[in-house]
């Protein structure tokens, strides 16, 4: 539905539905922390901005549908690759439904704690390096995007909150204007 | 066929679930009606008016009467509107506002579903709330609702960040994401005392998050007619209105749980702990709602750039610094709660 919808806003909404379903899968796997984080981060923040951009776009989407056949072979190729991957994974994995609890909770010695605690106790100890590295990557990406979009435009009148708050009756400029004469500033 | 057998096999469970849903839904319905009434009365009292006083005793039936009026009106769908999304948006807002209530504990054990990640669940649901407004504004296919929706989306996303950090500071003092645990952690002292600056940040952010005055820019009538709900009438409008007030009450109860000790009495001595917990919870809820209503009555509306400045340049650094400060204090004075 994400790719077949005519209207791009509908596509984004279906994408959000997909995120939501993924969160539902996490809940079924007893990974409630991941599910909630997925909703907060992807649905609550990323997809909102996405929807924002798509709603603001002024682009004729009916025209772009005309050359959809041009991209068809490439799309089919990627689809086939993904299906092959899925099939390989399914063949090689023996899904033990009786022990689904073990699958959902790989840390057996943590079985009596909530999965938020389990996640924290490995993330900040064994995998601290990867955690910090991903943080640094995100920071670099953030600084990069700020630098790319920061422009110092001259001649822009900015609101300076401090000056506005400092203004009082004595510093107010009042000019007597006779009616019909106008004024030079 | 299999779906039918699934339903018929579990008909009793489904009935139980429906009953529990009603147990949550009916008090919210009554609460919202009383909240709208109280809001109007407080606002009127500040402005030396009488407020609703004609329908029923003390005008108590004014809100149900208004509701009935909306129910019997015609649902008007604009010509160029996206019909499905136009109807879907208020339903989404309404159901999300109700859904978040299922994890709110009003007393020890008195909670519909006591999940481990309760606070994250509420945060996730309230972050979904922006979609109702965004979809409503877009699907109306009209200028003012669209601007209202964009403003609202930007505002809610901005203030969610600082709400998130405030919640993190509280969680560091608790050591659990469960709402019941958060309340029980305040047995010694309510978090409003050690974390008072965070309480102020949370309260103001909650005002912005629920589009209450002075941050009601999405529906600033002097600029945008009625914002995202301009094109709505009859039942869809009621759903928006109801969802808005249910969200306000939710934020009030969240303030109560996070900072004012939930159902715990102010002092654990005899006359206070005789009173059942949910009475305390209600009293605190009413107190916070009273503050919400008073703010609406005497604070002028913010300008949009001031709103954004407050969110990103004041609250974000303050709450970020508070997270670092709180964790440092907890670490160095060895006050951090025992986890394992």
A30: domain CATH number is 1.20.120.1200
Residues of A within 8 A of B82 (CB-CB) are: 7
Residue B110 · residue B280 · CB < 8 Å: no
Let me know if residue A78 belongs to a domain.
no
Of A7, A40, A55, nearest to B124 by CB-CB distance is: A40
What's the pLDDT score for residue B340?
43
Question: Mutation test of the interface with chain A: which of B120, B147, B167, B168, choosing the one with the most A Cβ atoms within 10 A?
Answer: B120
Q: Residue B66, Cα to own-chain centre: how many angstroms? A: 22
Return the residue of A nearest to B133 by Cα.
A48
Of A44, A115, A159, nearest to B160 by CB-CB distance is: A44
Taking residue A170's Cβ as centre, other Cβ atoms within 10 Å add up to: 5
Let me know if residue A73 belongs to a domain.
no
Residue A30 · residue A104 · CB < 8 Å: yes
Residues 152-191, chain B, touching A (beta carbon < 8 A): 153-154, 157, 160, 164, 177
Let me know if residue A171 belongs to a domain.
no
- Pick B114 or A66 by higher pLDDT: B114
Q: What is the pTM of this model?
A: 0.80
- Which residues fall within 8 angstroms of residue B157, CB to CB, at 6 or more apart? A44, A45, A48, A49, B130
Of B124, B130, B340, nearest to A36 by CB-CB distance is: B124
3-class SS of residue B11: helix
What's the pLDDT score for residue A138?
93
Could you give phi then psi for residue A93, rounded to 5 degrees? -105, 130
Let me know if residue A80 belongs to a domain.
no
Residue B134 in contact with partner chain A when CB distance is under 8 A: yes
Distance from CA of A40 to the nearest CA of B (A): 5
For the ranges B67-76, B102-111, B174-183, B217-226, the lowest mean pLDDT is seen at B217-226
Let me know if residue A133 belongs to a domain.
yes
Q: Which letter, b or e, does each residue of B95-118 get, where b requires 16 or more Cβ atoms within 10 Å of its Cβ?
A: ebbbbbbbbbbbbeeebeeebbbb
| Count of structural domains, chain A | 2
Average confidence (pLDDT) over A1-20 = 78
- Express each pLDDT in B239-279 by its tens digit: 888 888 888 998 898 898 888 887 877 777 767 777 777 88
Let me know if residue A88 belongs to a domain.
no
What's the pLDDT score for residue A80?
92
Let me know if residue A22 belongs to a domain.
yes
Query: Can you give the residue range of the structural domain that contains A145?
Result: 113-150
Q: Where are the alpha helices (DSSP H) in chain B?
A: 2-9, 11-46, 62-71, 83-99, 118-139, 143-174, 179-184, 196-209, 221-224, 234-259, 270-273, 277-298, 304-309, 316-332
CB contact under 8 Å between A48 and B153, yes or no, is: yes
Let me know if residue A108 belongs to a domain.
no
Residues 90-119, chain B, touching A (beta carbon < 8 A): 115-117
Residues of B within 8 A of A9 (CB-CB) are: 138
Q: How many residues does chain A have?
A: 185
- Express each pLDDT in A62-107 by its tens digit: 555 666 667 778 888 899 999 999 888 877 766 655 555 555 555 5
d(CA A151, CA A153) in angstroms, rounded, equals: 6
- Express each pLDDT in B130-169 by its tens digit: 888 888 888 887 778 888 888 888 888 888 888 889 888 8
């Amino acid at each position: 539905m994400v790719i077949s919808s005519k209207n791009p806003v509908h596509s984004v909404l279906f994408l959000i539905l997909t995120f939501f379903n993924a969160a539902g899968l996490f809940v079924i796997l007893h990974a409630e922390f991941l599910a909630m984080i997925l909703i907060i981060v992807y649905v609550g923040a990323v997809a909102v901005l996405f929807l924002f951009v798509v709603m603001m776009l002024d682009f004729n989407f009916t025209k772009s549908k005309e050359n959809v056949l041009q991209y068809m072979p490439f799309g089919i190729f990627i689809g086939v690759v993904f299906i092959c991957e899925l099939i390989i994974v399914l063949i090689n994995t023996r899904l033990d439904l009786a022990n689904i609890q073990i699958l959902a909770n790989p840390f057996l010695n943590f079985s009596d704690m909530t999965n938020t605690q389990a996640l924290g106790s490995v993330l900040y100890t064994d995998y601290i390096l990867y955690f910090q590295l991903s943080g640094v990557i995100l920071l670099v990406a953030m600084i990069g995007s700020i630098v790319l979009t920061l422009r110092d435009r001259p001649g822009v009148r900015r609101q300076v909150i401090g000056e506005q708050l400092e203004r009082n009756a004595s510093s107010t400029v009042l000019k007597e204007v006779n009616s019909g004469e106008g004024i030079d500033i | 066929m299999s779906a039918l057998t699934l339903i018929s096999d579990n008909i009793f469970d489904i009935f139980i679930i429906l009953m529990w849903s009603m147990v949550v839904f009916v008090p919210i319905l009554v609460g919202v009606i009383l909240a709208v009434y109280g809001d109007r009365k407080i606002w009127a009292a500040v402005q030396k008016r009488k407020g609703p006083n004609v329908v029923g005793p003390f005008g108590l039936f004014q809100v149900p009467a208004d509701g009935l009026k909306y129910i019997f009106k015609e649902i008007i769908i604009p010509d160029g509107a996206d019909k499905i999304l136009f109807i879907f948006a208020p339903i989404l807002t309404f159901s999300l506002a109700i859904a978040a209530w299922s994890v709110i504990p009003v007393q020890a054990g008195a909670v519909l579903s006591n999940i481990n990640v309760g606070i994250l669940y509420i945060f996730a649901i309230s972050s979904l709330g922006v979609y109702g407004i965004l979809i409503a504004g877009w699907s109306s296919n009209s200028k003012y609702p669209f601007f209202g929706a964009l403003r609202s989306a930007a505002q809610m996303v901005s203030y969610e960040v600082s709400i998130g950090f405030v919640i993190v500071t509280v969680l560091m003092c608790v050591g659990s994401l469960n709402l019941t645990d958060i309340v029980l952690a305040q047995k010694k002292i309510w978090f409003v005392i050690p974390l008072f600056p965070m309480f102020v940040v949370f309260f103001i952010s909650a005002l912005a998050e629920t589009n209450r005055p002075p941050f009601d820019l999405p529906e600033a009538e002097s600029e945008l007619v009625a914002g995202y709900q301009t094109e709505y009438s009859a039942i869809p409008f009621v759903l928006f209105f109801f969802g808005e007030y249910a969200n306000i009450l939710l934020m009030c109860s969240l303030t109560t749980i996070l900072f004012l000790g939930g159902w715990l009495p102010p002092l654990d001595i005899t006359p206070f702990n005789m009173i059942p917990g949910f009475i305390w919870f209600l009293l605190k809820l009413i107190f916070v709602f009273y503050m919400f209503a008073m703010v609406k009555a005497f604070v002028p509306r913010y300008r949009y750039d001031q709103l954004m400045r407050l969110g990103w340049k004041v609250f974000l650094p303050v709450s970020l610094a508070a997270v670092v400060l709180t964790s440092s204090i907890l670490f160095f004075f060895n006050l951090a709660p025992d986890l394992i």
